Amino acid sequence: MMRILVFGMTENPGGVESFLVNYYRHIDRNKKQWDFLCNSHNPVAYEDELISLGGRCFHITARSDNRQKYQQELEAVFKEHANEWDAIWVNVCSLANIDYLKIAEKYGIRKRIIHSHNSQNMDNWLRGLLHKWNKRQIGKIATDFWACSEDAAKWFYSGETLKKAVVIHNAIDVERIRFDEEKRKAIRTKYGWKDKYIIGNVGRLHFQKNQSFALDIFAEYLKKNKNALLVLVGQGEDERMLKEKADKLGIADRVFFAGLQSDIQAWLSCFDLFLFPSKFEGLGIAALEAQVNGLTTISSKKVIPAEVKMNDNFYFMDLEAGAEAWSRQIEEISGYERAEYSEVKKRFVEKGYDIDTETGKLETLLMG
């Protein structure tokens, strides 16, 4: 059996975590097994499921918390287990830290995959500098160069390394995310939202995801549409700032912070419109999942790759157009119905974003 060490799972069930668990559910685990290196001593997203499927989770201290402990624990994991792994697969949004690949090379792991999941710097200036430096080195340390989109590949790779880059589609388990009327009713009944028009967003509460602008848009929309509610699913460092801003805008009683949620299908089914005004993305898994659920979606133009548009009820808007323009767009399309599941399934298969058809391609690359 082939065993692969995977880095990319964090405590937050975000896009990368969703991508990894989707593929892990569908690979042939009798022939390949994955272990997970986690830079936190807290449980990561989907950890119980990962273990139930045969994976192992190795927890180490984050480099940012205690560099010495991080190095000692990382070394200890590889010293004891490196001979069990045929490959390492590092899924990250920046090249600021490539220690995992370096230590894999040190311990003789022959297949070393780096996978880009973003297209711009989402960190501080120092990590931005580290990314630029490691971009020059990555071709000497990794053996395989993957990305979630062409833009994400250009952010991580250059020259000959870029020519070797392979785009891996962030495929979705369409059946698991499809619209569910019963789950919609359950959430709306639980929170007393039976007749509300719900605008939703799913993602880490972080400046990249631009929920601050979502509040501005919603404040404008609420002026003419008093029956609306904004629901933000996720957690992150911007949560306090966003709650304070909602209060200053006078809309705090119409904005619901749902926190981390395990059943994303239920929350998407609860929404009437998906608002996705990110400042930058590698691809935008949340926008794909919203479309699988059939939701009318508005997303950032020139930020989200054009290939993300699957359904006819998906719209791009320029961030520079401002909150009022985004609000008017919501008003224009607020009556649109959900996309039909049969059409959604067909488009995801045709464009290479259905997990059932894409898993085989990933397995071939892992074996190569």
Provide the pLDDT for residue 85: 98
pLDDT in tens, 9-58: 998 888 899 899 999 999 999 999 999 999 999 999 999 999 999 999 99
Provide the pLDDT for residue 122: 65
Provide the pLDDT for residue 284: 85
- Mean pLDDT on 261-276: 96
Across the beta sheet with 32-38, the strand order is 57-59, 32-38, 2-7, 87-92, 111-116, 144-147, 166-167
Look over the chain and give the mean of its residue pLDDT values, rounded to a whole number. Answer: 94
- Mean pLDDT on 306-324: 95
The answer on 131 and 90 residing in a single domain is: yes
- Mean pLDDT on 108-133: 89
The answer on 114 and 47 residing in a single domain is: yes
The answer on 150 and 20 residing in a single domain is: yes
d(CA 293, CA 341): 8
The answer on 335 and 284 residing in a single domain is: yes
| N- to C-terminal Cα separation, the chain | 14
The answer on 245 and 192 residing in a single domain is: yes
Residue 280 pLDDT class (50, 70, 90 cuts) = confident
- Mean pLDDT on 160-185: 95
What pTM, to 2 d.p., does this model score? 0.85
Alpha carbon separation from 341 to 221, 275, 302, 334 (Å, rounded)? 29, 20, 27, 19
By CB atoms closer than 10 A (0-12, 13-18, 19+), residue 31 is exposed
Q: Tokens 């997303």 identify what position?
A: 299
The answer on 254 and 183 residing in a single domain is: yes
Provide the pLDDT for residue 304: 83
Q: What is the CATH number of the domain that holds 126?
A: 3.40.50.2000
What is the crossing angle of helices 323-333 and 211-222, to 10°?
A: 60
Strand duo 228-233 + 197-202: pairing: parallel
The answer on 320 and 303 residing in a single domain is: yes
pLDDT at 362 over 90: yes
Cβ density class 133-170: b for 16+ within 10 Å, e for less: ebbeebbeebbbbbbbbebbbebbbeeebeeebebbbb
pLDDT at 121 over 80: no
The answer on 191 and 98 residing in a single domain is: no
Domain span at 117: 2-171+354-367
d(CA 130, CA 112): 20
Provide the pLDDT for residue 229: 98
The answer on 232 and 107 residing in a single domain is: no
Percent of the chain exceeding pLDDT 70 equals 99
d(CA 116, CA 284): 13
DSSP letter string over 275-317?
EE--S--SS-HHHHHHHHTT-EEEEETTTS-GGG--STTEEEE
The answer on 213 and 144 residing in a single domain is: no
pLDDT at 226 over 80: yes
Provide the pLDDT for residue 25: 96
d(CA 311, CA 293): 11
Provide the pLDDT for residue 274: 98
The answer on 132 and 207 residing in a single domain is: no
The answer on 196 and 157 residing in a single domain is: no
Number of domains in the chain: 2
Provide the pLDDT for residue 12: 83
Q: Are 276 and 217 in contact (CB under 8 A)?
A: no
